[in-house]
Amino acid sequence: MGPPPARSPTKSPGVASAVSQPEDYEAVAHQAETTIEAGEDESSDAGYNSDNYSSTTTSLGPSVRDYAFENGRRYHKFHEGTYLFPNDEPEQEREDMKHAMIINLCGGKLHYAPLEKPQNIIDLGTGTGIWAIDMGDEYPSAEVLGIDLSPIQQAWIPPNVRFLVDDAECPWAYAKDHFDFVHVRHMTSSIKNFPKLVKEAYDHLKPGGWIELQELFFQAQCDDNTMPADYKLTHWLSLIEEGLAKFDIDLLSPKKHPGYLRDTGFTNVQERVFKVPIGTWPKNPTLKKVGLYNRCMIVDGLQGNSMKPFTKALGWSVEEVEVFNVEVRKACENAKVHSYFPFHVVYAQKPLE
Ligand SMILES: C[S@@+](CC[C@H](N)C(=O)[O-])C[C@H]1O[C@@H](n2cnc3c(N)ncnc32)[C@H](O)[C@@H]1O
């Protein structure tokens, strides 16, 4: 078992002919928030970029690359304040480690929905774009679009992968009945209105297309009574849940996802739940590795994940948060406690008729 993977480009510059680099990030201009109007001549100097996705897709220039800073961490600037967690290099490394954790947990699978020759795939909140890039490799004849509030995606990408700065919770400017697959992962601490997001996905999927949501359920569980009643990780998570609720975010939404999908009209709703150990306590070597990644993911994320929910929503000082987190870190590193998070994979199909 090696250490968690260092962040590195998926594609080496040595294969530059086979890859493209996103030199100019684009952002989707939502009409309510910009003065740029849909339907303007796309070849004009206004910066419109013609593409298959949207008549309102535009290059917004440097603004989408701007960042906000607070408590030594960097945050997104486009639709500032929407996402409460950092987007800087340490956070990107942590997100890539989370990807490795889930891929190990799922035996190398990028998805469970039974895709057949997908042509158009969208990844909502793509982060570093690591999943989208892997999908581009796995389905070379598909077009993979990753959207995110932050322009933090990797530089070297396969030619069939594109990234856009966009807000998934705004009305989608993409064509209706267009996508074969909508992918959502690690977004429970981001999304304010999952039913609305699921409805947008439904409207923009082709009949017969699939949606998949892969989410950790952030309540520590234990099957062998080794987790104490006053487990500090549980306490921290309940405070995060309370803080996020003040931003209208339901941290425990994954259990509701199958219902949201059914209510929207999706069929063939299927769910699989995995256990993601916290720490290296499992005997199984794969789960031991997954547990190591998970513990690193939690411990390395304590500061960045705590700051906004604790200070902005719960009124804690930065110093109080730092002191509290020392105890949370200790709890996570206690190998006698055999705790884990459930990981919910839910996928469903838009009916053919
Ligand atoms: C926890 S990361 C997950 C990244 C990626 N889905 C993965 O699994 O590797 C959440 C990402 O969602 C993005 N995000 C949050 N809210 C968003 C929104 N409303 N629209 C687009 N992206 C969003 C954040 O900027 C961040 O990069």
Distance (Å, whole) CA 120 – CA 176: 12
Q: Tell me if 240 sits within 8 A of 220, measured CB to CB.
A: no
Residue 83, ligand 1, Cβ within 6 A: yes
Q: What is the pLDDT of residue 20?
A: 35
- Mean pLDDT, residues 71-93 taken together: 95
In a domain, residue 17? The reply is yes
In a domain, residue 8? The reply is no
221 confidence band (pLDDT: 50, 70, 90): very high
Q: Tell me if 188 sits within 8 A of 253, measured CB to CB.
A: yes
- Mean pLDDT, residues 230-245 taken together: 98
State in Å: Cα 150 to ligand 1 middle: 8
63 confidence band (pLDDT: 50, 70, 90): confident
- Mean pLDDT, residues 199-224 taken together: 98
State in Å: Cα 164 to ligand 1 middle: 12
Q: Tell me if 305 sits within 8 A of 329, measured CB to CB.
A: no
Q: Based on the structure, what is the number of domains in the chain?
A: 1
258-279 burial by CB neighbour count: b if 16+ within 10 A, else e? bebbeebebeebebeebbbbbb
- Mean pLDDT, residues 81-89 taken together: 96
Unique residue bearing structure tokens 């199958």: 258
12 confidence band (pLDDT: 50, 70, 90): very low
Residue 77, ligand 1, Cβ within 6 A: no
State in Å: Cα 353 to ligand 1 middle: 32
pLDDT > 90? residue 32: no
pLDDT > 60? residue 327: yes
Residue 212, ligand 1, Cβ within 6 A: no
Q: Which residue has the higher pLDDT, 52 or 178?
A: 178
Q: Which residue has the higher pLDDT, 349 or 45?
A: 349
Residue 172, ligand 1, Cβ within 6 A: no
Query: Is residue 100 helix, strand or coil?
Result: helix
Query: Is residue 115 helix, strand or coil?
Result: coil
Tens of pLDDT, residue by residue over 102-112, are 999 999 999 99
CATH number assigned to the domain comprising residue 231 = 3.40.50.150
In a domain, residue 325? The reply is yes
Residue 167, ligand 1, Cβ within 6 A: yes
Q: What is the pLDDT of residue 341?
A: 98
Atom of ligand 1 nearest to the CA of 169: 19
Q: What is the pLDDT of residue 61?
A: 53
pLDDT > 80? residue 21: no
Q: Tell me if 205 sits within 8 A of 179, measured CB to CB.
A: yes
Residue 186, ligand 1, Cβ within 6 A: yes
Q: Which residue has the higher pLDDT, 49 or 159?
A: 159
pLDDT > 60? residue 65: yes
Distance (Å, whole) CA 108 – CA 13: 25
Q: Which residue has the higher pLDDT, 37 or 253?
A: 253
Cα angle value 263/265/270 (rounded, 5°): 80
pLDDT > 80? residue 31: no
Atom of ligand 1 nearest to the CA of 150: 25
State in Å: Cα 68 to ligand 1 middle: 16
Q: What is the pLDDT of residue 52?
A: 37
Compute the mean pLDDT over every residue in the chain, rounded to the nearest whole number. 86
Domain interval for residue 184:
13-349
Atom of ligand 1 nearest to the CA of 130: 9
220 confidence band (pLDDT: 50, 70, 90): very high
Residue 153, ligand 1, Cβ within 6 A: no
Q: What is the pLDDT of residue 33?
A: 33
pLDDT > 80? residue 271: yes
Distance (Å, whole) CA 306 – CA 317: 11
Q: What is the pLDDT of residue 192?
A: 98
pLDDT > 80? residue 144: yes
pLDDT > 60? residue 42: no
Tens of pLDDT, residue by residue over 182-196, are 999 999 999 999 999
Q: What is the pLDDT of residue 141?
A: 98
Q: Which residue has the higher pLDDT, 41 or 218?
A: 218
Q: Residue of the nearest CA to atom 27 in ligand 1?
A: 127
Q: What is the pLDDT of residue 47?
A: 23
Q: What is the pLDDT of residue 28?
A: 62
37 confidence band (pLDDT: 50, 70, 90): very low
Residue 193, ligand 1, Cβ within 6 A: no
Pocket test for ligand 1, best of 190, 216, 244 (most atoms within 8 A of CB): 190
State in Å: Cα 186 to ligand 1 middle: 7
Other CB atoms within a 10 A radius of the CB of residue 12 amount to 10
Residue 95, ligand 1, Cβ within 6 A: yes
State in Å: Cα 98 to ligand 1 middle: 13
- Mean pLDDT, residues 85-101 taken together: 97
pLDDT > 90? residue 334: yes
State in Å: Cα 193 to ligand 1 middle: 14
In a domain, residue 3? The reply is no
Residue 148, ligand 1, Cβ within 6 A: yes
With a pLDDT cut of 70, the percent of the chain lying above it is 82
Residue 125, ligand 1, Cβ within 6 A: yes
In a domain, residue 5? The reply is no
